[in-house]
Structures are given as C-alpha cells and as structure tokens.
Structure 1
C-alpha cells in the first residue's frame, strides 16, 4: 500500500493536550528509556521517517455510543510507546486526565457525574469486592435513571503497579461499577515487557470494551491501528524501513475505506 497523502493538521485531542500540559511543567526534556534520540513526529510520536499520521483513522460522522476516559499516570502522556493516543484517534469521545494522589481534576468529577454516561471502571475483578464487579454492561433498569445511558469506560493508563496504586487511592472511583474483562485471547503488545499474557496494553483494553459495547468497527480499527503503530515503532527502533504493504497496513486501509 503506497503511503497516503498527509492529512491536514487536526485539533489536538485529549491525550495530546494532556501531554502539552505535562511538558509545560517539566524541568527537563523527557527521554524515553531505550528510545531513539532521533526527531519524533509530534502527531504520532514515531520517529519522523516512520510517521503514520497519514494513516490516522477517519472518525465517523456519527460518534460511537461508547466513550473512553483515560486516567493517566504522571509520565504516561510523555512516553512514545503510550497507546492512549491511539484510542483518542479512533474514539471521538475520549477524555484524558492526569492522576495525582492528593488532588483530582474537577473536570473529571463533572464527567463522571454527567447523566448521559454510565461510567465503568475497568479493572481485574480478582482485586475487587465481588459486589462491585460486572462482566457485562448494565441493562437500563439497573442504571441510575429511567433511560439507558451511554457507556463510559474509565481506564487506568499506567504500569500495573501504578494502576493498582491508582485504584486503591482514588476514592472518587469507589462508587463506580468495576468492569472485569474476560478476554478469550492473549495480549499481542510488544513494546513493553510483561510477565503475563493476560496483561493487556491500554489500547487493547479499550478494544475489548468497544467490542462489549457492540462497537465492532471501532474495535477492529483500533486493533489494526495498534498493529501498524507497533510495527512502525519496532522497525524504527531497529533502523529498518516500515513495510507499508504488510497485513496490518492492509487491514487498517480496508477499515478506513469501509
């Protein structure tokens, strides 16, 4: 697949804005551990020679019913390997907030209380009191209010130790139902190490949530987009050209045109 023409610049999405805010209070430049020192594209965070901005999914005219709220550990927005960016490129209703133990962004509390949304805190059920755990979306009669609400998936975007700390020390999340996913697959993420195949990256978790909400095209697009991002990230790291004709690129192209 030949490289697509560059897209016109888009307004920064939620993760991009959070990154800008976080950079503004950094005392020194962020250097990714083991990452390339070559110039990176501001749009996709890849080394400029492997930029994938022209492959950005085209958002549907009618937004998805589901939304995503990313609660991000301190330096997550700065990491080139962070996959929350990909979610914000695919799901129009994506919010991103930085997490701190001692304070909470009032805009996050406003979002969680918005009556159009039914928030779900996505976290493994084995670490949660059983009465809080759900494995499916709540039916309308189990939600607060008479009408069915749009699902809002709250994802803790962090390393696993950080995510467990965030879960324990965020009392404003304590009243949310905890959505425990039961995937029938193992993680395919290759950019960070994990000892367990059932530890999914943030983008993969969002894809599973979108599937559960019946947003199949968005879920498939996010999966293909992650595969393309992973391929280009690793090829750049190994100083090899990206294969724009591989299966991941072809899949993403078919979903973009579909």
Structure 2
C-alpha cells in the first residue's frame, strides 16, 4: 500500500494548480509519475518508506522549485515524517510557515554556510537534541532553490536572521549529478539534509536518505536517456542498497 501524500506533494499540487501555463523542463515529453516526478517506468513510489526520527525539516522553496523533476527536496519528505514545505515570498511570508518556525515545540536552525551569517548571528556545527529543553525538537530549515536563489532568500528574509545557523563543511564534493553547484559546498537539498541528520545524531537515517537520493539520481538519469537494458542492473543494485539501509534501521 502506498503512503499518503506528504507536504511537498501537496505543495506541488497547489503550485501546479495556480500555474498559468505548464511548467517546461528538460525531458518535458517524458510521461512522469505525478508523485515522485520520475519517468513512470522508473517510479520509486512503491519503495518509499518513512523512518522514525526525532528531527523535523522545513523546506522554503523558491517559486517553481517544487515543480522541477530534478528537485531533491521532496526526498526529505519521503523519508522524514515531520517535514513541512512552503513557497518563499519576499513580501508576504506564509503565516503558517512563520508559526511553525516560532512553534514552542521546535528549536529552529537555519542550515546555511557560516560565511553568510549576519552580525551577531549564532553559528553552530552540531546539534544535540538531548541538550535542548524538554519537549523541544530540532527543526532544520532548508532554503531550496539554486545557490543564487538560496542566497537571495536568506538575505531578503529577516525572520531567518535571528535563528541559529547550522553550518558544516563536508569533506567530499557533491555527488549530485543533476544540478551540481559551482562550488564543492553546493550540495543537493537531500544531501544537505543527510549531512544534517548525521551531524544531529541520526547516522542510520542519514544513510537511508543518502541511499534514497542515489536511487533518485540514477532513476532520473535513466528517465532522460540512459535507459539501455543492460544498465538497469545499476538501478536494481541501488534499490537493494536502499532496502538494506532500511533493514539496518529495523
């Protein structure tokens, strides 16, 4: 039985409904699953499994980011149950989004490179949920868009400037093959979330998300052009690796 739609799925439906014209992207003629946005023959929805996590995520997405098949932000919601998603607005921030950021059950952290912190903004390199007051849950805020868009969202959103900034420098370069950034620290959104999970004490969940991301990337590439029959074994191997990470969780 498939899982119900999550926050990013609902945001996709909303953004698509208010669009004045169909969103055009590379591979626009591909017949896609309307949930995972992969080509139907490579749909991964049947394998989507959520884990138990003591962490929460909030995706602030730049305008049409949620419509892009290459977006990996939805993978976070695939795996982490307590995930929220909203479209960024420069002039009128979503009130529900602001209420989540300020909800007393959460301690919000903005995931962003420390070099962009404003004056007096706290920067932390790790988060330990056990050190928070009783009843507080870490809420990781991720700005989801191109690197230029993410910088714009941060600079134009004063409600983010008082939050502690969670910053880390991964030792390895991004493996994101769809829309890789120009600099090594520019990771795919799901990669950023995976690093956050690891740094916040949930390495097994980080491994699940990493494996889910790897399957997503390969499935996306096959849906574009790399669809030779002999190459499908790679997909099966990645699916097996993903299922193995779930088995470790259990």
User: 1:202 maps to what in 2?
Assistant: 189
Are 1:23 and 2:16 counterparts?
A: yes
Aligned residues: 244
Q: Which runs of 5+ in 1 are unaligned?
A: 1-7
Counterparts of 1:2-21 in structure 2, within 5 Å, are 8-21=1-14
User: 2:140 maps to what in 1?
Assistant: 153
Judged with a 3 Å threshold, the aligned counterparts in structure 2 of structure 1 residues 140 and 226 are, in CA distance, closer, same or farther, namely closer
**Greater helix fraction, Structure 1 or Structure 2:** 2
Q: CA deviation at 1:243?
A: 2.7
Paired residues of 2:128 and 2:200 also in contact (CA < 8 A): no
Q: Which moved more, 1:178-187 or 1:70-79?
A: 178-187
Q: Distance in 2 between matches of 1:30 and 1:106?
A: 26
Judged with a 3 Å threshold, the aligned counterparts in structure 2 of structure 1 residues 245 and 156 are, in CA distance, closer, same or farther, namely closer
TM-score, normalised relative to structure 1: 0.88
Judged with a 3 Å threshold, the aligned counterparts in structure 2 of structure 1 residues 193 and 182 are, in CA distance, closer, same or farther, namely closer
Paired residues of 2:76 and 2:190 also in contact (CA < 8 A): yes
User: 1:178 maps to what in 2?
Assistant: 165
Q: 1:230 aligns with which of 213, 217, 224?
A: 217
Q: Which runs of 5+ in 2 are unaligned?
A: none
Are 1:56 and 2:43 counterparts?
A: no
User: 1:256 maps to what in 2?
Assistant: 246
Paired residues of 1:140 and 1:148 also in contact (CA < 8 A): no
Paired residues of 2:7 and 2:77 also in contact (CA < 8 A): yes
User: 2:58 maps to what in 1?
Assistant: 69
Q: Distance in 1 between matches of 2:210 and 2:130?
A: 29
| Backbone CA RMSD of aligned residues | 1.8
Paired residues of 2:2 and 2:45 also in contact (CA < 8 A): no
